[in-house]
């Protein structure tokens, strides 16, 4: 009986050692780089894109929203005519709800450096840029980002 117990303990210990072996890791993972976090953020995100008009030139907004508990976002702003560099922002999206014209409106708030940008959830596939009072633009121009993926 004692030999069987020792055999089981030895078998469990060796199985644990084999399971923890480093064969499946890449060199980057062995060095401490977390590639799973980057891959997951890219694969498990909703991507919205649209052209937002501006005073001098329009810009293409590409917004990636993580579909997990991190509520992370990545926003790229590429200007159409200017030679301005592409702007990239990352952070955590904040969800806010407010009554506007008697209706509950859900808005995503994104901190972009010193500024904050707001996008109203129109439906499952459209986000619309709004002001800090959650009001849409008075102009008839499109401020929509549409779901790409």
Q: Mind listing the pLDDT tens digit of every residue in the chain (149 residues)?
A: 655 566 565 555 555 555 555 555 555 555 554 444 444 444 578 999 999 998 788 899 999 999 888 889 999 999 988 678 899 999 999 999 988 888 888 999 999 988 999 999 999 899 999 998 888 888 888 899 999 97
Q: Which two tokens stand for residue 107?
A: 């808005």
Flag whether 139 is in a domain.
Answer: yes
- The verdict on residue 80 lying in a domain is yes
Does residue 85 fall inside a structural domain?
yes
Whole-model pTM: value is: 0.67
Q: How far is CA 33 from CA 39, 88, 91, 109, in A?
A: 12, 22, 20, 30
Domain CATH for 103: 2.40.128.640
The DSSP bridge pattern shows strands 45-52 and 87-92 to be: unpaired
**Domain enclosing residue 69, as ranges:** 45-148
Work out how many domains the chain is built from and give that number. 1
Q: Is residue 27 part of a domain?
A: no
């Amino acid at each position: 009986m004692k030999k069987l117990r020792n055999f089981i303990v030895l078998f469990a210990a060796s199985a644990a050692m084999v399971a923890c072996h480093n064969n499946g890791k890449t060199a980057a993972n062995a060095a401490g780089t977390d590639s799973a976090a980057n891959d997951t953020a890219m694969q498990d995100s909703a991507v919205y894109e649209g052209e937002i008009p501006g005073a001098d030139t329009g810009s293409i907004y590409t917004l990636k929203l993580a579909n997990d508990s991190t509520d992370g976002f990545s926003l790229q702003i590429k200007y159409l005519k200017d030679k301005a560099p592409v702007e990239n922002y990352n952070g955590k999206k904040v969800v806010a709800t407010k009554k506007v014209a008697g209706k509950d409106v859900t808005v995503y708030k994104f901190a972009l450096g010193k500024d904050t940008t707001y996008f109203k959830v129109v439906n499952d596939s459209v986000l619309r840029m709004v002001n800090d009072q959650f009001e849409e633009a008075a102009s008839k121009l499109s401020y929509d980002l549409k779901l790409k993926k």
